[in-house]
Structure 1
Amino acid sequence: MNLDISHPGRPGPEELVPSRYAVKVGEIDVLVVSDGVLPLPTAMLGHNVEPSARAAWLKDMFLPQDAFDWALNVVVARSGGQTILIDAGLGLDPELNLPRAGQLVKRLEAAGIDLASVTDVVLTHMHMDHIGGLLVDGVKERLRPDLRIHVAAAEVKFWESPDFSHVSMPPGFPDALRAAAKRFTKEYQSQLRLFDEEYEVAPGVIVCRTGGHTPGHSVVRMASGGDRLMFAGDAVFAVGFEHPDWHNGFEHDPEEAARVRVRLLRELAETGGQLVATHLPFPSVGRVAVDGDDFRWVAAFWDY
C-alpha cells in the first residue's frame, strides 16, 4: 500500500473539496476516505420523535427541513504490514439514483492505494452503503485472491432472513439492502472470516460486535502508543450526541441501538479516544465530551 500521509496530494480538477484525511494512531496509519454523500429524508434522524422536535434540531444546526446529505466515510488502516479497508462504501445501484455516492474506488486510486494491496476488509455491517463498493463491476478481479473479509457471524446469519419490521426507510431501500447482502454473501462466501464477539485483525486493530443497528453491527477499535481511535460505523449519527435516544430509520433494533450508542459515547468520553463514524460530516474525526445528560461532539482541528 502506498499510503504517504505526509504528501496528501491535491484534489483533481473536478474535486473542489478534499476527499481524504490522514490520522496517526501511534504506529497505525489511518486514512479517512469519502465515498460521497447520500441524500436522505430528515425523518431518518429520529422517526420516534415529534416532527416539531426534529424541526427544531435541524433549525439549530442550520440544516434543511426536508432532506440533507449524509456523509459516507470509509477508513483505510495500515498496521503490522497489513492494509485494512474498513467498510467499502455504496457502490452503484441504478435503481436508487444516487450519483454522488459510490466514489470509493476512484478516491482510493487518487490516494495511491491499489486495491491489490488490501489484505483485509472489515465490515461494520452488511447494509449496502458499507459493502456496495466491493460489488462494483471489475472490483473483485482487482482484489487479492487471499483477501480476508471479517464480519460478525450474527450479521451473516441475520441477512439470511432479515427483519425489517422496526425500520423506517424510504421506499425501495429494504429490497435494495436485501438484494445487496444476498449478492455479497454469494460472491465473497469463500473469503468471509466470521467472528463471534471480537477479533484482532492486525496489531492494535480489533473489531468488536455491538449489535443494535443490525444484530452483527460492529465497531473497530484501534490503539497504539497511547493513542486510540474508534470507527463506530452506524452506531453514532450527528443527532445522536444531543439525542442518543432518537431512533434512526435504518436501525433494525432501535432500542438496543440507542443503548449501544450511549455505551460507546460514554466510553469515548472517558478514554478521550478519537471517533470516526460513517455518517458524521467528513472527515468526522473528533472526540466526545459529556454535556450534562447529553454528549457533545468536539471536531478535531485539521492538521496540515
Structure 2
Amino acid sequence: MLNCEQLQQAEPSLNVDKNLTPSSLGREELVPSRYAVRVGEIEVLVVSDGVLPLPSAMMAYNVDPAVRASWLDDMFLPADAFDWPLNVVVVRSGGRTILIDAGLGLDPDLHLPRAGQLIKRLNAAGIDLASVTDVVLTHMHMDHIGGLLVDGVKDRLRPDLRIHVSAAEVQFWDSPDFARTSMPPGFPDALRSAAARFMKVYGKHLRPFTEEHEVAPGVVVCRTGGHTPGHSVVRLASRGERLTFAGDAVFAVGFDHPDWHNGFEHDPEEAARVRVRLLQELAANSELLVATHMPFPSVGRVAIDGDVFRFVPAFWDY
C-alpha cells in the first residue's frame, strides 16, 4: 500500500516564484520559521506551525516509563512533557500551489499559544491564500486541519479550492472510534468537534481518493492507514529526485524505537508496521523525508544502523 508506482515527473516548465524562497525574517520572528528546498522542478517550502506541548507518555505509552524516561534523557529532553513540532508544507508544481496539511489553528479554549502559527507565517512568506489551488490532508486530526478553521481564512481561499483526502479518512470521522488510542482527557472530544466542523465548512471542497491520487505533476498522495484509517503520505518526484512528506507516520522516537506506540494512533500495531516499511523504503531510496512532528525543518534522510534506523538531517542551505 505504501508504494506508488510510476510516479509522474514534473515537466521542466515551472517558473521559480520568489514566494517559495526564504526571505528576511519578520520582525516578530526570532528564529527561522520556513525553509525552502527543491525536488527537481518542484518547489517545496516547509513552514513551522509552532509547537504543541504534550505529556511525554504520549510518545510511547506501551513501554515502561523508566525506559521512556531514559530515551528522553539520552536526547537531553525533559521527562514529563515534550514539545511536538508542527510542520506544514507548501508545494508548487505544474502551475498549482498545494498546501499539505494546515496546522492546529487558533482555538483559545486549547490554551496553546505557541502553536497555530501557520497563517501568520504564510503571510510573512508572502504566500497569498488565494493562490492555493489544492490542499492535501494527510489525515483529519485537528493539528492538521485547524488552520483552515481560523476565522476569516475560508473567505480568503479560492471558491474552486480542491481538498484531497482519503475516502477512508472521511468515512472514519463520520463515526470515529478512539478505543485503541491513549490520549489526555478532552482530546477525543476536541478531535471529534474539529473534524465535524471541518466537514461542515469544507465538505463541498473535498475530493476523496481511494488508495492514491496525483494532485499535480510529480505530487502523489498515497494512503498508508495505521495512524488513522485514512492516513496518507505525499510522495514528490521530479528529475530523479524524491521527497516524502510522511505526516504522522514517523516521529522522532520512531527511528530508535519504531515499535513504540504513539497515543494518537488509532491502530498502533498497524501504525508501527507502516512506520517500519516506510523507513525501510526511504533508506533504500536515499530520498528526502519531511514529517509533521520532526524537529523543524525536519528535512533529512534515513539510514539503517543494525536493528534501528537513524535520521540524518540535511545540511541547511542558506
Shorter-chain TM range is over 0.9
Which residue pairs with 1:19 in the alignment? 33
Instruction: Specify the code of the residue in structure 2 equivalent to 1:87.
Output: D
Instruction: Specify the code of the residue in structure 2 equivalent to 1:292.
Output: G
Distance in structure 1 (CA, Å) of the matches to 2:96 and 2:207: 16
Deviates more, 1:87-96 or 1:234-243: 87-96
* Distance 1:229-1:7 versus aligned 2 partners, 3 A rule: closer
Which residue pairs with 1:91 in the alignment? 105
* Same amino acid, percent of matched pairs: 79
SS at match of 2:164: strand
Contact 2:103 2:118 in 1 (8 A): yes
Contact 1:3 1:112 in 2 (8 A): no
Instruction: Specify the code of the residue in structure 1 equivalent to 2:140.
Output: M
Instruction: Specify the code of the residue in structure 2 equivalent to 1:137.
Output: D
Contact 2:41 2:239 in 1 (8 A): yes
Distance in structure 1 (CA, Å) of the matches to 2:20 and 2:193: 40
Distance in structure 2 (CA, Å) of the matches to 1:5 and 1:61: 35
Structure 2 residue runs of 5 or longer lacking an equivalent are 1-14
Instruction: Specify the code of the residue in structure 2 equivalent to 1:177.
Output: L
Which residue pairs with 1:176 in the alignment? 190
Which residue pairs with 1:248 in the alignment? 262
Pairwise mapping of residues 112-131 of structure 1 onto structure 2 (< 5 A)? 112-131=126-145
Distance in structure 2 (CA, Å) of the matches to 1:189 and 1:2: 32
Q: CA deviation at 1:2?
A: 8.6
Residues paired across the two proteins, number: 304
Instruction: Specify the code of the residue in structure 1 equivalent to 2:207.
Output: R
SS at match of 1:159: helix
Pairwise mapping of residues 183-194 of structure 1 onto structure 2 (< 5 A)? 183-194=197-208
* 1:79 counterpart (88, 93, 98): 93
Instruction: Specify the code of the residue in structure 2 equivalent to 1:154.
Output: A
Q: CA deviation at 1:188?
A: 0.7
Distance in structure 2 (CA, Å) of the matches to 1:236 and 1:3: 30
Distance in structure 2 (CA, Å) of the matches to 1:194 and 1:129: 20
Contact 2:33 2:121 in 1 (8 A): yes
Q: CA deviation at 1:303?
A: 0.6
Instruction: Specify the code of the residue in structure 2 equivalent to 1:163.
Output: D
> Are 1:257 and 2:271 matched, yes or no?
yes
SS at match of 1:255: helix
Q: CA deviation at 1:27?
A: 0.2
> Are 1:196 and 2:213 matched, yes or no?
no
Which residue pairs with 1:61 in the alignment? 75
* Superposed CA offset, 1:19-54 (max 9, x none): 000000000000000001100110011000000110
Contact 2:20 2:45 in 1 (8 A): no
Distance in structure 2 (CA, Å) of the matches to 1:120 and 1:91: 18
Which residue pairs with 2:227 in the alignment? 213
Q: CA deviation at 1:13?
A: 2.2
* Superposed CA offset, 1:145-166 (max 9, x none): 0000000000000001101011
* Superposed CA offset, 1:154-198 (max 9, x none): 000000110101111111111000000011011111110000000
Q: CA deviation at 1:236?
A: 0.2
Contact 1:3 1:113 in 2 (8 A): no
Contact 1:89 1:132 in 2 (8 A): yes
Contact 2:225 2:232 in 1 (8 A): yes
Instruction: Specify the code of the residue in structure 1 equivalent to 2:215.
Output: V
Distance in structure 2 (CA, Å) of the matches to 1:127 and 1:296: 27
Contact 2:19 2:125 in 1 (8 A): no
Which residue pairs with 1:136 in the alignment? 150
Q: CA deviation at 1:96?
A: 1.5
Which residue pairs with 2:316 in the alignment? 302
> TM-score of the superposition, structure 1-length normalised?
0.98
Instruction: Specify the code of the residue in structure 2 equivalent to 1:243.
Output: H
SS at match of 1:21: strand
CA RMSD of aligned residues (A): 1.2
> TM-score of the superposition, structure 2-length normalised?
0.94
* Distance 1:291-1:92 versus aligned 2 partners, 3 A rule: same
Distance in structure 1 (CA, Å) of the matches to 2:192 and 2:59: 22
* 1:222 counterpart (209, 212, 236): 236
